[in-house]
């Protein structure tokens, strides 16, 4: 207790000294920072390693600010339906100082870093592959406390999730199988990629028929949307390629998750994240990594496509699951709100560590 009184007295003396000095010199930045520190110092519990703000104790409003936002993220989301309903999301930068958490989209950040109030949580948000992103400017080193990405080892997970259905789908699987007249469809828009998926497909086509739709093929997609395209093609094709543009840890995009839509009736062939087995339920897709080369994969697909019972087993297993579709962003914001309400330690993960090193080093394969 005496030790705590000593520190409070020490900072009070510093405050008075700096305030007088700043008035004389005109430099008030140092004074402002120390005053902010002392205001936040009141929020610490008796255990100096624990940060328990009064707002969290009283369940009062917690402000989350979208400071730098990409267009596909909405800044107008009502979070009252979350488990913890005391968070509000805003894009109004005038509330920066009083915001508990500040969100920054990886691709919309610039070289000017705003002032970070002590105790504030800064969250970097990204859903893109590191294979296509450039390093953040070094001015952002050690600025972030949490991450909101597709990575499973981050603080807030931002991606689709599969859930087991409570009521199973009812389909005439034999009829579905009989109506299929073609083997493999692939709808694709980017023709040259870091994963070299186009080269893999070129080799695969030597052993099995692959019809390519979209910008990289000769036939346009039968629907304007990717899910719609997949749904139409899955009725007559036995297999559908879900090949990522890069092969990076945890980087599993919406392509593969379309297989869990209600009207999807094709078996997905996946090439992407090396650890996809830790993300997707087994027997709901075919992992290219399980086969030595495209020829071996083609041999298996030809064999599976001619075996009705074995083929149908994939469809049935897939139909045991569904995805939360567009709710993934909302769920992640709810997770952030819960974390802001419940986290205890002030020693946060990204202290003394750059986001670049975690996000980019040794996570992709060529």
State what percent of residues in the chain have pLDDT above 70.
Answer: 80
| Domain that includes residue 130, residue range | 55-160+328-365
Return the pLDDT at 271: 98
On the CB side of 165, CA atoms within 13 Å amount to: 15
Residue 341 and residue 196 share a domain: no
Both 273 and 356 in a single domain?
no
Domain annotation covers residue 5: no
Residue 186 lies in a domain: yes
Contact 136, 106 (CB under 8 A): yes
pTM of the model: 0.78
For the cut 80, the answer to whether the pLDDT of residue 8 exceeds it is no
pLDDT at 39: 37
**Has residue 360 got a pLDDT over 60?**
yes
How many structural domains compose the chain?
2
Distance CA 325, CA 332 (A): 13
Q: Is the pLDDT of residue 230 over 60?
A: yes
Range ranked top by mean pLDDT from 21-25, 100-104, 163-167, 360-364: 100-104
Residue 136 and residue 121: Cα distance in Å, rounded? Answer: 18
Give pLDDT, residue 52.
38
Checking if the pLDDT of 134 tops 70, the result is yes
Same domain, yes or no, for 67 and 201?
no
Band (32; pLDDT cuts 50, 70, 90): very low
The two tokens of residue 215 are 């910008």
Task: Give 248-271 pLDDT, tens digit per residue.
Answer: 999 999 888 888 888 899 999 999
Strand partners, 149: 126, 157
Asked whether residue 336 is assigned to any structural domain, the reply reads yes
Q: How confident is the model at residue 163 (pLDDT cuts 50, 70, 90)?
A: confident
Residue 87 predicted with pLDDT over 60: yes
Quick check: 201 pLDDT over 90? Answer: yes
Residue 298 in domain: yes
Window from 19-33, 80-94, 238-252 with minimum mean pLDDT:
19-33
Whether 118 has a pLDDT exceeding 50, the answer reads: yes
Q: Does residue 13 form part of some domain?
A: no
Residue 42 inside a domain? The answer is: no
Q: In terms of pLDDT, which residue wins out, 73 or 71?
A: 73
Taking only the tens place, the pLDDT of each residue in 269-320 is 999 999 999 999 999 999 999 999 999 999 999 999 999 999 999 999 999 9
Q: CA 195, CA 210: separation in Å to the nearest integer?
A: 18
Q: Are residues 224 and 91 in the same domain?
A: no
Identify whether residues 209 and 250 lie together within a single domain: yes
Residue 106 shares a structural domain with residue 193:
no
Q: Tell me, yes or no, whether 264 and 309 share the same domain.
A: yes
User: Which pLDDT score is estimated for 182?
Assistant: 97
Please tell me which residue, 261 or 245, carries the higher pLDDT value: 245
Domain shared by 313 and 339, yes or no? no
Nearest in space to 236 (alpha carbons), one of 260, 218, 209, 275:
209
Give the separation between CA 278 and CA 161, rounded to whole angstroms: 12
Q: Is the pLDDT of residue 49 over 80?
A: no
Could you tell me if 336 and 232 lie in one domain?
no
Same domain, 315 and 175: yes
* Percent of the chain residues topping a pLDDT of 90: 52
């Amino acid at each position: 207790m005496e030790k705590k009184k000593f520190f409070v007295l020490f900072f009070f003396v510093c405050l008075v000294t700096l305030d007088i000095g700043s008035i004389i010199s005109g430099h008030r930045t140092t004074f402002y920072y120390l005053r902010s520190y002392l205001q936040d110092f009141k929020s610490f519990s008796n255990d100096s390693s624990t940060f328990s703000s009064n707002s969290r104790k009283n369940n009062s409003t917690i402000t989350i600010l979208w400071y730098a936002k990409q267009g596909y993220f909405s800044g107008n989301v009502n979070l009252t339906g979350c488990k913890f309903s005391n968070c509000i999301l805003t894009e109004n930068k005038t509330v920066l100082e009083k915001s508990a958490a500040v969100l920054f989209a990886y691709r919309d950040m610039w070289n000017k870093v705003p002032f970070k109030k002590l105790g504030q949580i800064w969250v970097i948000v990204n859903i893109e592959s590191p294979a296509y992103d450039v390093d953040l400017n070094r001015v952002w080193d050690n600025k972030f406390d949490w991450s909101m990405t597709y990575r499973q080892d981050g603080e807030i997970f931002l991606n689709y999730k599969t859930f087991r259905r409570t009521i199973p789908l009812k389909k005439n699987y034999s009829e579905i199988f009989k109506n299929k007249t073609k083997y493999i469809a692939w709808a694709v828009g980017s023709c040259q990629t870091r994963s070299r998926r186009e080269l893999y497909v070129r080799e695969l086509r030597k052993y099995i028929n692959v019809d390519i739709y979209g910008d990289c093929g000769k036939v346009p997609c039968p629907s304007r949307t990717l899910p719609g395209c997949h749904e139409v093609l899955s009725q007559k094709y036995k297999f559908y390629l879900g090949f990522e543009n890069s092969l990076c840890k945890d980087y599993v995009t919406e392509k593969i998750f379309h297989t869990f839509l209600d009207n999807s009736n094709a078996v997905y062939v996946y090439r992407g994240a090396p650890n996809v087995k830790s993300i997707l339920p087994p027997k709901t897709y075919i992992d290219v990594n399980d086969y030595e080369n495209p020829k071996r994969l083609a041999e298996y697909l030809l064999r599976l496509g001619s075996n009705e019972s074995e083929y149908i087993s994939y469809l049935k297993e897939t139909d045991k699951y569904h995805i939360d579709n567009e709710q993934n962003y909302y769920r992640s914001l709810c997770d952030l709100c819960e974390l802001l309400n419940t986290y205890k330690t002030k020693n946060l993960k990204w202290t003394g560590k750059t986001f670049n090193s975690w996000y980019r080093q040794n996570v992709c394969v060529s």
